[in-house]
Amino acid sequence: MAKGIIYVMTTVVPGLIKIGKTGTANFEKRMYNLEKNGYSNVVGLKRYFAIEVEDYDEKEMLLDDIFSKSRLENTELFALDVNLVVQL
């Protein structure tokens, strides 16, 4: 079982969030890169929530499936209330 981090970030666009995953050892570097450079032409990303879990690949895919109707095509961006994602 691979251990890693699932994270949620807010953007400068209200109601637009990023859901992603990374290895535990790579978390700080990933956050730095996203916060500094943005993602898919969206800037102003800020860390909101992160949790270390077992089977992080499968759990992130589950979140992608659950929120698929709110996903911006071909991205890790979702038009969702960030608190809803964190509660799940």
Q: What is the pLDDT of residues 20-73, one digit of tens each?
A: 999 999 999 999 999 999 888 788 999 999 999 999 999 999 999 999 999 999
Distance in angstroms (rounded) separating the CA atoms of residues 47 and 11: 9
Q: What is the pLDDT of residues 1-22, one digit of tens each?
A: 789 999 999 999 899 999 999 9
pTM equals 0.91
Mean of the pLDDT values across residues 66-81? Answer: 94
Dihedral sign computed on CA atoms, order 74, 80, 82, 84: negative
Do 83 and 31 form a contact (C-beta atoms < 8 A)?
no
Q: How confident is the model at residue 88 (pLDDT cuts 50, 70, 90)?
A: confident
